[in-house]
């Protein structure tokens, strides 16, 4: 089963969820991982279009996807929603105000939505990774990546498999008493 949607378009998201329900019969897990970094630039140089693009993808997309699957999950009384935030949302990165703002919004949304669904059997959590060695880094300058890695006490980027393992646990039956939580995956960068 394969499909495609635009997370910035609520109608596209709704159509995709309906298609998934027709094809698979149910949605058990949602991992909101679509994202863009946007340009690495000072706020004064940031265009309105770049700002809106980052927030539309990284924050609005999480909202649209959660809103589309939650009724189906709550009706069944079970489900897992994992939102991928960022350590940038907790600590901010200079010259990445749009990305940091969007990811801070994902953290706040996760906390609120997790509490909202706490009695439904649907758990909502998020992961706040430091820099992970993925394609997203191709959107950034080498200086921006070097800055982020320099803030990690372990002195390296995270690996996609490390993030995947945490997400898998959050989706598992072993994770049964966490909702509205933020799980850091930062190589020691997180300070709170």
Cα separation, 157 vs 176, whole angstroms: 29
Q: How far are the Cα atoms of 58, 73, 145 from residue 136, in angstroms, in the given order?
A: 12, 30, 10
CA distance 129 to 136: 13
Identify whether the C-beta of residue 42 lies closer than 8 Å to the C-beta of residue 20: no
**How far is C-alpha 37 from the geometric centre of its chain's CA atoms?**
12
- Of 46, 64, 99, 147, the active-site residue reads 99
Active site residue 192: no
Q: Which ranges in the chain belong to alpha helices (H)?
A: 10-24, 48-55, 61-76, 88-91, 97-116, 142-150, 160-171
Active site positions, annotated: 99
């Amino acid at each position: 089963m394969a499909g495609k949607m635009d997370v910035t378009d609520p109608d596209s998201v709704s159509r995709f969820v309906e298609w998934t329900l027709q094809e698979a019969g149910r949605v058990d897990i949602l991992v909101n991982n679509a994202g863009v970094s946007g340009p690495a630039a000072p706020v004064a140089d940031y265009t309105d279009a770049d700002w809106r693009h980052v927030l539309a993808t990284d924050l609005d997309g999480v909202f649209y996807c959660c809103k589309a699957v939650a009724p189906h999950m709550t009706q069944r009384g079970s489900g897992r929603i994992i939102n991928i935030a960022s350590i940038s949302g907790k600590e901010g990165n200079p010259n990445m105000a749009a990305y940091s703002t969007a990811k801070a919004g994902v953290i706040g949304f996760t906390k609120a939505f997790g509490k909202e669904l706490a009695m439904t059997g649907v758990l909502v959590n998020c992961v706040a990774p430091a820099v992970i060695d993925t394609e997203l880094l191709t959107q950034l300058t080498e200086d921006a990546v070097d800055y982020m890695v320099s803030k990690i006490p372990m002195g390296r980027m995270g690996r996609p498999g490390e993030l995947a393992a945490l997400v898998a646990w959050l989706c598992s039956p072993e994770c049964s008493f966490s909702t509205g939580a933020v799980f850091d995956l930062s190589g020691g960068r997180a300070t709170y």
